Amino acid sequence: MFPLIKNFKATGLTKAFFLNALVTATIVVLGIEIRRIFEDEHNEVYGYFNHLYGTKSLSEAHILTIVFPATFIGAIIVYLSMYVLFEYGGNFLITDKKKILW
């Protein structure tokens, strides 16, 4: 079942850099687009969180407390989807038998 795209695993530096750039760009664009939602005060999402906080307008601190967790959850979703598609990040796992010496 895993990975769905079998010929593009991070077996070399070029493929690894490309996949990492794809993940990074996707997460950055997701964070920027989430942040852009809160620029329009007439947006339904802005109104929902404005009502949730009970203020006249959202401050930068309010927006930060919304955008950071939303981007974090989005990043987890991106990493999971990349794992399903390309088995990305599978080599980050370390077995219990190996000891890391500092």
Q: What is the pLDDT of residues 15-71, one digit of tens each?
A: 888 999 999 999 999 999 999 999 999 999 999 999 999 998 999 999 999 999 999
Structure token digits, residue 38: 């809160």
Average pLDDT over residues 70-93: 87
Q: How far apart are CA 45 and CA 18, in angstroms?
A: 34
Q: How far apart are CA 54 and CA 57, in angstroms?
A: 9
Structure token digits, residue 40: 């329009």
How would residue 99 be classed by pLDDT, with cut points 50, 70 and 90?
low
Res 22: pLDDT: 94
Number of residues that make up the chain: 102
pTM of the predicted protein model: 0.79
